[in-house]
Amino acid sequence: MKARVEKLYKFADPKPDAVVFANSVDPHLDGGFFWVFDVPSGLFEGSIAIAHPDGQLDLFTSVLEAETARAAARRDPHVNVHEFRTAADLEEGTKRILGSARTIGLHHQEITHAGYERLTKVLPSAQWVDVSGAVRRARVTKDAVEIERLAKAAAIGSQVALEIPSLLREGLIERDLATEMNHRMMQHGAEGPSFATIVGFGPNSAEPHYFAGGRALRSGDSMVCDFGAYSERYASDITRSFHFGRRDEELKAVHEKVEEAQRAALATIRDGVPAKEVHLAAQRVIDASPWKGRFTHGLGHSIGLRVHDGWGMNERSEDQLEEGMVITVEPGIYLPGHGGVRIEDDVLVTKQGYRFLTTAPRSYVEVPA
């Protein structure tokens, strides 16, 4: 944990006297809190982590998760756990640790307005600065522990992707397939889905962020299944597209073109490449096809403690790929009223290229009705 705190301060400019990560109630929990304080379970609602320039971390937690916090802290002598029982206890402890700090960093990207008001009331003389940019910059490249957890989450998603064709049958409802996919992810070791599972049959597969609804599967339908797992708080995000029953020659060709676009994008990935060039490699393939203009979103995003964890990859991206980043690569073609195809993988950026974390086959699959 000390190394992560030091990494945060490396990117902070100017450098504050301390950085505070303040949780509210679920779902308003700060990913930065769980990044600097690596704890495997627990909500830690209302908890506060105070990171210091020397790598020390003060953690204020309620009695609900005090034992979990202490167990995690035993792995790192630079973490001090303080238990509070009332709001007054938390305020007093915060004053004791931060009373002499003149400049305090806050993660504006994720703190709630109510949380900000509480802190400024407790420490009215402090100057508060936004360190969201430094947090984003520090988290976007992953350490070995994070990569291992992301790979585990990706393996869970990959296994479920392999099982989807065996679940398909005439009349299957979208939300029922999504429910079964979530169940299987947890059977394979996930703590839960990393986002609301997307299952779109037929025309619904042409909506990139469609929620699994009540449409029944019919022969001739294309389908998009976009889902992911949490493993030790880290997320995966995988999309596979299938075809059910009677062949649709256009959608088969669309699937093959999306595969080609993904291969073109992957071929550009390596340390130092501008992120927008990866997107443009895929876009050029699709724009040279009969489906120009039907790739309607960015190629991908960074992934970590959140599914969308840091930045997105599109033609306007100003970021540059770096060794240790984990990103999604997800080109798609969508034909409104007809169907769509998206193929998405999680990949680790390496010095000379990339490594797949998701491993399920990407090629066209036609499931008999």
Q: Domains for the chain: give ranges and CATH numbers.
A: 2-139 (3.40.350.10), 144-367 (3.90.230.10)
Q: Which of 325, 353, 355, 349 is nearest to 146 (CA)?
A: 325
Structure tokens at 109: 């990207």
The confidence score (pLDDT) of residue 99 equals: 86
Which pLDDT score is estimated for 1?
87
Residue 40 and residue 115 in contact, taking contact as beta carbons nearer than 8 Å: no
- Between CA 198 and CA 210 the distance in angstroms is 6
Contacting residues for 235 by C-beta, under 8 A, at least 6 apart: 150, 153, 194, 195, 228, 229, 303, 304, 305, 306, 307, 309
Rg (CA), the chain: 23
pTM of the model: 0.95
Low-confidence ranges of the chain (pLDDT < 70): none
**How many Å apart are CA 311 and CA 137, to the nearest integer?**
10
pLDDT tens digits, 50-70: 999 999 999 999 999 999 999
pLDDT on residue 306: 95
Using CB atoms within 10 Å of the CB of residue 159, give its burial: 0 to 12 exposed, 13 to 18 middle, 19+ buried: middle
Query: What is the model's pLDDT at position 40?
Result: 84
In the chain, DSSP finds a helix count (H) and a strand count (E) of 10, 20
Instruction: Give dist(CA 164, CA 307) in Å, integer.
Output: 21
